[in-house]
């Protein structure tokens, strides 16, 4: 069975995962998840790029999953691949209701071993009320210790901004996320200010 790993010293960011797994560094995507004071948020920008060309500015990269829409998921990677993975994760959630970690581990096992699925190129942030996870095509299910996840070409910028903002009084998870995404959009040319945000209180 695949293991769930806790990041002891640092969060797992896209560039680190890309180096270890051989996956490309995804352009056209910034996904950020913030967990603070009983609220968890997942946000994604809307830009899709091919080289220097912007193909779309309002893509929706964050979805609600589960029977009661209680799971939030965001993806970095090829859209068709990510949609296939969303469908597979939904089926695992149906098989293991109320067990998000187990559903993610089972999906990660399939993703790594299935001949078709292992060709899919994406990274996923999947969060529920109690846990935040990163899923990769190498079979990893990673849980950052501080509940912050940043994926995609602007993910490290958004993650750094969120870390700086997380302890500021008066900013809830949504406010931290929106500010951090705006900072990433100002820095990363593959990220824009059109943000899709979903939250669980």
Average pLDDT over residues 177-200: 96
Tell me which of 148 and 82 has the higher pLDDT. Answer: 148
Are 101 and 80 in contact by the 8 Å Cβ rule? The answer is no
Could you read off the pLDDT of 50-74 as tens digits, one per residue?
888 888 899 899 999 988 899 999 9
Residue whose pair of structure tokens reads 């994760």 in the numeric block: 89
Cα(181)–Cα(191) distance, rounded to whole angstroms? 9
Whether the pLDDT of residue 22 is over 90: the answer is no
Choice among 14, 29, 191, 196 that is catalytic: 29
Could you read off the pLDDT of 65-112 as tens digits, one per residue?
988 899 999 998 877 788 888 898 999 999 999 999 999 999 888 888
Half-sphere exposure of 170 (CA within 13 A, CB side): 0
Q: What is the pLDDT of residue 20?
A: 39
Domain boundary assignment for the chain: 4-200
At 51, is the secondary structure helix, strand, or coil?
Answer: coil
Domain 4-200 CATH assignment equals 3.60.20.10 = yes
List of long-range contacts for 163-169, beta carbons under 8 Å, 24+ apart:
166/34, 166/36
29 in active site: yes
Of all residues in the chain, what percent carry a pLDDT higher than 90? 59
Res. 172 pLDDT band, cuts 50 70 90:
very high
Whether the pLDDT of residue 27 is over 90: the answer is no
For the chain, report the end-to-end CA distance as a whole number of angstroms. 32
Average pLDDT over residues 14-38: 63
Whether the pLDDT of residue 196 is over 70: the answer is yes
Backbone phi, then psi, for 145, in 5-degree steps? -70, -25
């Amino acid at each position: 069975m695949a293991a769930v790993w806790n990041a002891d010293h640092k969060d797992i960011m896209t560039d680190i995962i890309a180096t270890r797994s051989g996956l490309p560094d995804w352009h056209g995507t910034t996904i950020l998840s913030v967990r603070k004071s009983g609220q968890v948020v997942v946000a994604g920008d809307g830009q899709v790029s091919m080289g220097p060309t912007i193909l779309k500015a309002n893509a929706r990269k964050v979805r609600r999953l589960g029977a009661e829409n209680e799971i939030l998921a965001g993806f970095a990677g090829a859209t068709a691949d990510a949609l296939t993975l969303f469908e597979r994760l939904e089926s695992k959630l149906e098989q293991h209701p109320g067990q998000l970690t187990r559903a993610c581990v089972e999906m990660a096992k399939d993703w790594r071993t299935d001949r078709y699925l292992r060709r899919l190129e994406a990274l996923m942030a999947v969060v529920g009320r109690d846990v935040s996870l990163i899923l990769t095509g190498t079979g990893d299910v990673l849980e950052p210790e501080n509940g912050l996840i940043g994926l995609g070409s602007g993910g490290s910028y958004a993650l750094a901004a969120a870390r700086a903002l997380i302890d500021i009084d008066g900013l809830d998870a949504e406010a931290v996320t929106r500010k951090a995404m705006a900072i990433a959009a100002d820095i990363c040319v593959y990220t824009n200010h059109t943000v899709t945000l979903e939250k669980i209180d």
